[in-house]
Chain A
Amino acid sequence: MRALVVTAHPCADSFAHAAAERAVAGLEAAGHHVDTIDLAASGFIAAMSLDERRAYHSDRPVIDPHVAEHVALIRAATILVLVYPTWWSGLPAILKGWLERTLVPGVGFRFDESTGKVRPGLTHIRRIVGVSTYGSPWFAVKIVNDNGRRTITRALRLSCGVRARTTWLGLYGMDTATPADRIAFLARVEQRMARLT
């Protein structure tokens, strides 16, 4: 299958980047074709522009060639892997903006003209994988509702086909994690991706 791995961390030498590399290694070991996007390195603009907002409900909502490239990669993908640090219990702005700017009507979803209801647009995605680090320990993440995970496993999941499945790999308590914890997590990411069918 074809996988798209999206990394959202401003530093190229971050732990998130290390996790993304291992995810790619695992996916390739499983025989998948892997495309990658490094949002910060590619200079992706986080905020939707006024022109984009005005084009949102038109026939051509994608007006930025950079966004169009990413839309093509999303459309080709069967597996979508998002790798990022959780900040304020959610996605970093650049990743949140990536969802907003690429998953526009006609890509992420479509409006059913007859009923006025929203229909899934990502029916080709069979698996969504979230790989995230959390500064807080697991219980603190759960108390605040783990909002980034919900955005991905519920809001994004609802835009995929009914058979799409989700996989979540979290390293909790990153602020107090030992080097051994980190190494074990990276190994877990690679192993889990290598088992993805």
Chain B
Amino acid sequence: MTKIPDHRGLATWGERLVPIDEFARASAAHGRRLDDTRRAAAVNEFHAEAFDDTPVEGPFGRVAVFGGAYSNHLALAALLADARNREAEAVYCLGDLGGFGPAPEQVRPLLEQGDVRCIQGNYEVSLAAAEDDCNCGYTDPRDNHFAELSYAYTARNCGDSFRAWMGRLPLRRRILVGSRELLLVHGSPRQVNEFLFRSTTPVAFLEVLLERYRCDGFLCTHSGLHWSKHLPSGRDVINVGVIGRPANDGRPAVWYTLLEARGSELRVEFVPLTYDHPRLAREMRAERLPEEFVETILTGWWTTCLEILPAKERAASRY
């Protein structure tokens, strides 16, 4: 068995042993020590505003926003009917049209007939560029295996015209709801495949991000679970959830978001959507999609992509 080394009075400078004072002096000699004025200037420069000339659409009184259709054409049809009943003036989709579900081309006519205003998700970025990976960023081999199956199926079943259409979608939009200017993105304002979960997205991080992108809030999807935070500055961040698969809560319903202007405030409502999920399960089986995906549609519990869940969200998960 290895002998425990005795480091008393000594420091480990790399693999060398030196007197601890020598390490302390050498360390103190490295790095910057700015005065207060220059520190404030460094922080200001670090927070430099991001250039964003996205045109603003609206104003609207009420809009419906969803993400992650994942080829779930039945949920999409249900959403369009529901949003119409609730008198949404516009419907926005935050990307990831394909993956997971059956026959990806089926969502396109629904999006066009419903006048849905889309942005690209990481799926559209990858499909339009004919990449061989969805760029979800999984590292666990099991999650990667299912992500690859899902992407390969979607890629096989998306024609050139649909891919070209995806490639023409913008990466972001800006909308005015009442007097609130909101940025619409897939992952986050800075990265198309950034996962933003409630329990790992600090308020301070969001405030800095919103300051950089000069808006009253942003809407995102990608992580698959809906949440919202009303920030101390009065701004709002809303993860609108996905309609492609349930929210890992043991219910087969999927979720979208209704935004409504209430004076100068923004009212956020998460809407559970029931749809003919047993039919979707039959269609998925007919397409020989993995039974693990079908189980999620039927039970409401995620069976894959679990590695991305933070501790709190994983604790609430069946698997």
Partners in one complex: no
User: Chain B residues in contact with chain A, CB under 8 A?
Assistant: none
User: Chain A residues in contact with chain B, CB under 8 A?
Assistant: none
